[in-house]
C-alpha cells in the first residue's frame, strides 16, 4: 500500500468534514438585502402593466360609432387572413 495515497485520501476526507461553529458570540456582520436597478426597473414595468386598462376604450368607441353609422366594413380577405394567421400561430 502506498503511504502517499493514504495521506492524500486522509486529507481529502478531512477537507470535506464540517467543522463545528465556534461559540465565541454573535457575528459582527449583518445580512443586507438590496434590489438591483434592473430589478427595480422590472418592478416598475410590472406595476405600469398592472395599472394599464385591459380594454382600449378609444378603439372600442371608434368601432361602435362605425357600427352605429353603418360604415364599419371588414373585407372577406382581411377576415380570412386573420383567421388563418391565428390558426397557424396556435398549431406551431
Domain count, the chain: 1
pLDDT tens digits along 8-55 = 767 777 766 666 666 565 656 788 889 899 999 999 999 999 998 888
Provide the domain limits for residue 62: 45-92
Cα–Cα distance between 81 and 74 in angstroms, integer? 11
C-alpha 58/C-alpha 64 separation (Å) is: 10
Would residue 85 count as lying in a domain? yes
86 assigned to some structural domain: yes
- How far is the C-alpha of 54 from the C-alpha of 63, rounded, in Å? 17
Residue 37 in any domain: the answer is no
- Whole-angstrom distance, CA of residue 19 vs CA of residue 38: 38
pLDDT value of position 62:
94
Residue 36 inside a domain? The answer is no
Supply the pTM of this predicted model.
0.36
Amino acid at each position: 500500500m502506498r503511504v502517499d495515497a493514504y495521506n492524500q485520501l486522509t486529507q481529502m476526507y478531512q477537507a470535506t468534514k464540517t467543522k463545528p461553529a465556534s461559540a465565541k458570540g454573535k457575528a459582527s456582520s449583518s445580512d443586507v438585502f438590496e434590489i438591483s436597478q434592473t430589478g427595480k426597473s422590472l418592478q416598475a414595468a410590472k406595476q405600469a402593466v398592472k395599472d394599464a386598462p385591459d380594454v382600449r376604450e378609444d378603439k372600442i368607441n371608434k368601432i361602435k360609432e362605425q357600427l352605429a353609422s353603418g360604415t364599419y366594413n371588414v373585407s372577406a380577405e382581411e377576415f380570412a387572413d386573420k383567421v388563418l394567421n391565428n390558426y397557424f400561430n396556435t398549431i406551431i
